[in-house]
């Protein structure tokens, strides 16, 4: 499949063609190669915050979603060293929030859970932080369960760049960072958010959930129950209908 | 709760003064809070409406900075500077005493909404601590008597403006001058020399001088100015980084107090070289008291034809504005600083592109430290050749150090680059033995006794200017623990490794401090260091584990003393958790304790 006219870089020893200006993760995805990631999404500008896509490009660590591919660049991706780091990063995300996968409606469709399986995360390892993050069930069609938020800002980007609404933003600093919505009451019902918004589809974990359609597909038959995330490169996050 | 009449008019005058401009949100929020006491939900709504921003974005900024509050925190807000040097001077006991006298817990607001007392990151008064901020005004040299008097004034609701002036006195403590602090330039002299040379020739002189950035990274100033000058854009900007947040650093404060003309003149010269019309000085919120003095220096310079249109009669227009930060160390990072200047939370941008091509408002921008810009005046006046002869080959010129901790004469010391740490200690005066020296703040290096002959220079020990000295009675574990909490408090929260990692590390240090640590936890610390150093988005996360790494390697016994056992120890103490049950059942016999049960 290598197009001779395109320059190539080397990811885990395999030649990957790229068009100039593409980032490593864009080039890899186009070539069907999996680089683990959470905050990156092909439809949105790179954000570079989760750091799960950390690779070693020409010997230097960096996020594959922000590094531009260069001809002859040698990239380490799924090495023991890097997957070790990814496992630790995932563990940090799990203990930072409140994730009880067995009771979560997103289980099986969740990119965080699927990525954790992918890199062999067996336990949260660190002591849980157990943050206090109240659920916002005020909206007629959508539930917000902030306990699971990983601060990827995909909803922020989708609402701002696609829906043109700016429903979401991150506020606070450091470990006190948290998602807020665009209303004086702080409640989602007082915004113009709608279940048809792109931002309602884009959350990689189980924060933004549509009401009354829960568990339509039973656990066991969901996106990442069927095959691992690394085997679904290029596939979009599942919409409710597909799931 | 509708905004009242007075609220509305106070807010409207702030908004009008700031031109209803969202990029000035930091200044809008600060001035509004100064007028109204806090930033209530309806006030944020009104600001958002006025500047035409989504409300969530306004709240996002208001919620990011430590000095903005979106809930009332008392008519008197007391924040104790909590750098390790303040701790060594007894700030915790003093704060405790203050809280007791006020019947208050740290971090809480008094029932009557009168006062709150808390800690804050280093306020840059390390040579005259213990320091605090009261309603964001700097107070130095706290004593038990001052605590008592302050409590009385708060109880009597005496306005801060009527408090004893000597409490707010900030000393310069300049102990050693070299080429920069000893300069004999009068305002306009360096600028005239620069204009006479012309922009291109002036740039050549800067390059020839070998001047490197004094903010820490040591990037060549000539290269930076050239890249900015060559970048295409609608406008070019000069930003002076006066965020000075690195604990233990206070040299920029002194430059801005005593040498403000030199700093503004350096900015003007930079503006001429890169082709900018506007300069911005980003002043850390802790130095709020310097705002009015700096603005009067600017006014004097305008009156003297050194700023504004046709500077010194030449076809060159340039003006400078001071913007205040609001308690966020990360805003010292240049791209976070720019975000803040645009009214946003201080989260570092993805780089590249770098500020020299895409900086303030997306335009070519040079961000330089206060000291770098002041030094540029010397180059303008005396030439690059002259400047490059001072210091070492790789580190031209002089460096200003802020010395604090266990020395007889804490304060400001300027040396040519290449001076040994021992020489600085000799000049500052040490009694007894020195155990360690922290150079360049928590994100710098911890030097042990056998490293004091090392030199301050980019090729040996680079530094942004802090030098904190610890004698042999100090507990280096507690030093590192203080730094760990600093980073956890100051992480911007953007990226996973630093946002969560700094808190994990601070908790590990606390676990060790309470005697529940094991060698396993020490391994964990090294693991976090390896993760955060490579994977973090910016310098804060990359260097946040440095103090643990250095002290673990050089002062291991300080840690080992605290290890409960050589095996794994959970953070959760089961026996302690049973203490409530023991209390309720009135039992305290041997069998009511877990360890004893296991043994029997
Ligand atoms: C977390 C962090 C904090 C920083 N704080 C400061 C600061 O307070 N003052 C400063 O001049 N540079 C600071 N820097 C460095 C700036 O990003 C930038 O390199 C510097 O302002 C450039 O000026 P210079 O070239 O004159 O050194 C900081 C960097 C990081 C990563
Ligand atoms: S709600 Fe979901 S999409 Fe939005 S920041 Fe949190 S995890 Fe990301
Ligand atoms: S390393 Fe820390 S301070 Fe820097 S971007 Fe990441 S979270 Fe923010």
Q: Are A160 and A43 in contact (CB under 8 A)?
A: no
- Give the CA dihedral B282, B288, B293, B299, nearest 10 degrees: 50
Q: Are residues B255 and B293 in the same domain?
A: yes
Q: What is the 3-state secondary structure (H, E, C) of B486-554?
A: HHHHHCCCCCHHHHHHHHHHHHHHHHHHCCCECHHHHHHHHHHHHHHHHHCCCHHHHHCCHHHHHHHHH
The pTM for the full model equals: 0.94
Mean pLDDT computed over B407-434: 97
pLDDT value at position B578? 72
B592 near A CB under 8 A: no
Which residues is A209 bridged to in the sheet?
A143
Ligand 1 contact via B540 beta carbon (within 6 Å): yes
Q: Which of residues 197-216 of A touch B (CB under 8 A)?
A: none
Ligand 2 contact via A149 beta carbon (within 6 Å): yes
Whole-number percent of chain A with pLDDT over 70: 95
Could you tell me how many CB contacts below 8 A there are between chain A and chain B? 117
A92 near B CB under 8 A: yes
Q: Is residue A12 part of a domain?
A: yes
A49 near B CB under 8 A: yes
What is the pLDDT confidence band of residue B53, given thresholds at 50, 70 and 90? very high
Q: Are A166 and A159 in contact (CB under 8 A)?
A: yes
* Type and span of the H or E element at A156: helix A154-157
pLDDT value at position B589? 77
Q: Determine whether the interchain pair B501/A92 forms a contact, defined as Cβ–Cβ distance below 8 Å.
A: yes
Q: Min CA distance, A1 vs chain B (Å)?
A: 31
Whether pLDDT at B598 is above 50: no
Q: Min CA distance, B202 vs chain A (Å)?
A: 35
Q: Are residues A221 and A148 in the same domain?
A: yes
Q: What residue's CA is closest to ligand 3, atom 1?
A: B541
What is the pLDDT confidence band of residue B566, given thresholds at 50, 70 and 90? low
Q: Are residues A49 and A112 in the same domain?
A: no
Q: Is residue A3 part of a domain?
A: no
Q: Is residue B70 part of a domain?
A: no
Mean pLDDT computed over B284-312: 98
* Type and span of the H or E element at B9: helix B5-17
**Residue A28, phi then psi, degrees to nearest 5:** -60, -45
Q: Are B251 and B377 in contact (CB under 8 A)?
A: no
**Class of residue B553 by CB neighbours under 10 A (exposed 0-12, middle 13-18, buried 19+):** exposed
Average model confidence (pLDDT) for chain B? Answer: 95
Ligand nearest to the CA of B331: 1
Whether pLDDT at B412 is above 50: yes
Q: Which two tokens stand for residue B4?
A: 């009242």
Give the distance between the most distant pair of CA atoms in chain B. Answer: 93
Coil, strand or helix: which one is B132?
A: strand
- Give the CA dihedral B152, B154, B157, B160, nearest 10 degrees: 110
CA-based end-to-end distance of chain B: 64
CA A22 to the chain's CA centroid: 19
Q: Are B234 and B330 in contact (CB under 8 A)?
A: no
Query: Residue A44 is part of a domain; what is its CATH number?
Result: 3.10.20.740
Query: Which of A150, A174, A175, A176 to probe ligand 3 with, by most ligand atoms within 8 A of CB?
Result: A174
| DSSP category for residue B391 | B
pLDDT value at position B600? 34
Q: Is residue B589 part of a domain?
A: yes
Count: domains in chain B:
5
Whether pLDDT at A96 is above 90: yes
Q: Are residues B114 and B205 in the same domain?
A: no
Ligand 2 contact via A188 beta carbon (within 6 Å): no
What gap in Å lies between CA B534 and CA B495, rounded to an integer? Answer: 12
Whole-number percent of chain B with pLDDT over 90: 92
Ligand nearest to the CA of B249: 1
Q: What residue's CA is closest to ligand 2, atom 2?
A: A203
What gap in Å lies between CA B468 and CA A23, rounded to an integer? Answer: 43
Residue B8 CA to ligand 1 center (angstroms) comes to 38
ipTM: 0.95
- The domain boundary, picked from B412, B443, B471, lies at B471
A98 near B CB under 8 A: no
A162 near B CB under 8 A: no
Q: How many CA atoms lie less than 13 Å away from B105 in the CB half-sphere?
A: 3
pLDDT per position as a tens digit, B461-473: 999 999 999 999 9
Whether pLDDT at A237 is above 90: no
Q: Are residues A88 and A53 in the same domain?
A: no
Coil, strand or helix: which one is A236?
A: coil
**Residue A135, phi then psi, degrees to nearest 5:** -80, 145
Q: Are B136 and B283 in contact (CB under 8 A)?
A: no
Q: Is residue A235 part of a domain?
A: no
The number of the ligand 2 atom at minimal distance from the alpha carbon of A151 is 5
What gap in Å lies between CA B39 and CA B72, rounded to an integer? Answer: 8
pLDDT per position as a tens digit, B129-165: 999 999 999 999 999 999 999 999 999 999 999 999 9
CA angle B49, A197, B45 (to 5 degrees): 15
Count: domains in chain A:
2
Coil, strand or helix: which one is B561?
A: coil
B488 near A CB under 8 A: yes
Ligand 2 contact via A179 beta carbon (within 6 Å): yes
- The domain boundary, picked from B165, B189, B208, lies at B165
Residues spanned by the domain of B405: 398-471
Which residues is B480 bridged to in the sheet?
none
- The sign of the dihedral angle between the CA atoms of A161, A166, A167, A173 is positive
What gap in Å lies between CA B344 and CA B206, rounded to an integer? Answer: 33
Cβ neighbours for B184, distance < 8 A, ≥ 6 positions apart: none
Ligand 3 contact via B488 beta carbon (within 6 Å): no
Q: Determine whether the interchain pair B535/A51 forms a contact, defined as Cβ–Cβ distance below 8 Å.
A: yes
Q: Is residue B328 part of a domain?
A: yes
């Amino acid at each position: 499949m290598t197009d001779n006219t395109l320059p190539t870089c080397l990811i885990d020893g395999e030649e990957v063609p790229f068009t100039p200006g593409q980032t490593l993760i864009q080039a890899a995805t186009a070539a069907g190669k999996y680089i683990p990631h959470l905050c990156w999404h092909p439809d949105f500008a790179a954000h570079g915050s989760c750091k799960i896509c950390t690779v070693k490009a020409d010997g230097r660590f960096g996020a594959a979603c922000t590094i531009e591919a260069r001809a002859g660049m040698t990239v380490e991706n799924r090495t023991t060293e890097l997957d070790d780091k990814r496992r630790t990063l995932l563990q940090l995300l799990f203990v930072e929030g409140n994730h009880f996968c067995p009771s979560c409606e997103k289980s099986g469709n969740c990119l965080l859970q699927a990525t954790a399986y992918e890199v062999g995360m067996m336990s949260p390892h660190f002591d849980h932080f157990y943050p206090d993050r109240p659920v916002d069930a005020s909206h007629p069609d959508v539930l917000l369960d902030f306990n699971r938020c990983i601060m990827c800002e995909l909803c922020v980007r989708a609402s701002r760049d696609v829906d043109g609404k700016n429903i979401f933003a991150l506020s606070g600093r450091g470990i006190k960072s948290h998602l807020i919505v665009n209303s004086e009451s702080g409640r989602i019902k007082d915004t113009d958010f709608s279940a048809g918004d792109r931002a309602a589809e884009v959350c990689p974990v189980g924060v933004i959930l549509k009401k009354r359609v829960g568990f339509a597909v039973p656990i066991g038959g969901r996106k990442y129950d069927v095959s691992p995330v690394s085997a679904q490169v290029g596939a979009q996050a599942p919409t409710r209908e597909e799931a | 709760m509708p905004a009242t009449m007075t609220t509305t008019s106070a807010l409207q005058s702030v908004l009008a003064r700031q031109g209803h401009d969202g990029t000035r949100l930091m200044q809008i929020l600060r001035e509004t809070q100064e007028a109204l006491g806090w930033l209530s939900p309806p006030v944020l709504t009104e600001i958002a409406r006025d500047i035409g921003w989504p409300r969530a974005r306004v709240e996002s900024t208001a919620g990011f900075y430590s000095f903005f509050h979106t809930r009332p925190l008392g008519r008197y807000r007391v924040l104790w500077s909590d750098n390790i040097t303040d701790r060594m001077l007894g700030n915790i006991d003093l704060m405790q005493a203050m809280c007791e006298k006020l019947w208050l817990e740290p971090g809480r607001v008094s029932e009557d909404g009168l006062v709150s007392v808390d800690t804050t990151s280093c306020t840059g008064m390390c040579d005259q601590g213990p320091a605090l901020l009261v309603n964001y005004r700097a107070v130095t040299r706290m004593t038990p008597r001052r605590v008592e008097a302050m409590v009385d004034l708060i109880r009597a609701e005496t306005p801060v403006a009527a408090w004893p002036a000597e409490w707010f006195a900030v000393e310069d403590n300049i102990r050693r001058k070299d080429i920069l602090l000893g300069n004999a330039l009068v305002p306009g002299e360096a600028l005239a020399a620069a204009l006479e040379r012309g922009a291109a020739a002036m740039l050549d002189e800067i390059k020839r001088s070998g001047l490197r950035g004094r903010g820490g990274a040591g990037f060549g100033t000539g290269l930076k100015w050239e890249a900015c000058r060559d970048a295409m854009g609608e406008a070019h900007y000069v930003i002076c980084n006066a965020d000075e947040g690195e604990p233990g650093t206070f040299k920029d404060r002194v430059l801005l107090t005593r040498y403000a003309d030199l700093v503004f003149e350096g900015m003007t010269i930079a503006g001429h070289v890169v082709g900018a019309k506007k300069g911005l000085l980003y002043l850390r919120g802790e130095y709020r008291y310097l705002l009015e003095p700096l603005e009067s220096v600017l006014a004097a310079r305008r009156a003297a034809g050194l700023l504004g249109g046709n500077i010194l009669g030449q076809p060159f227009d340039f003006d400078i504005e001071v913007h205040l930060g609001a308690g966020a160390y990360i805003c010292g990072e240049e791209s976070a600083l720019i975000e803040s200047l645009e009214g946003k939370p201080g989260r570092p941008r993805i780089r590249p592109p770098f500020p020299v091509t895409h900086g303030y408002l997306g335009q070519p921008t040079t961000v330089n430290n206060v000291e770098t810009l002041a030094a540029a005046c010397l180059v303008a006046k005396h030439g690059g050749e002259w400047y490059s002869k001072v210091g070492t080959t790789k580190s031209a010129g002089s460096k200003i150090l802020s010395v604090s901790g266990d020395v007889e004469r804490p304060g400001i010391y300027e040396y040519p680059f290449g001076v040994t740490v021992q020489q600085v200690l000799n000049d500052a005066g040490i009694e007894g033995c020195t155990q360690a020296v922290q150079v360049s703040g928590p994100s710098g290096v911890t030097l042990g006794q056998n490293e004091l002959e090392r030199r301050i220079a980019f090729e040996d020990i680079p530094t942004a200017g802090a030098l904190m000295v610890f004698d042999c009675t100090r507990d280096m574990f507690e030093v590192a623990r203080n730094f760990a909490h600093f980073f956890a408090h100051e992480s911007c929260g953007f990226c996973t490794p630093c946002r969560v990692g700094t808190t994990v590390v601070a908790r590990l240090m606390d676990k060790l401090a309470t005697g529940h640590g094991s060698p396993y936890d020490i391994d964990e610390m090294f693991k976090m260091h390896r993760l955060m150093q490579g994977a973090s988005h910016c310098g804060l996360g990359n260097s946040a584990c440095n103090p643990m790494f250095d002290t673990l390697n050089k002062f291991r016994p300080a840690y080992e003393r605290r290890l409960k056992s050589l095996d794994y120890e959970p953070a959760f103490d089961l026996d302690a958790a049973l203490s409530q049950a023991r209390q309720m059942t009135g039992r305290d016999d041997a069998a009511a304790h877990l360890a004893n049960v296991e043994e029997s």
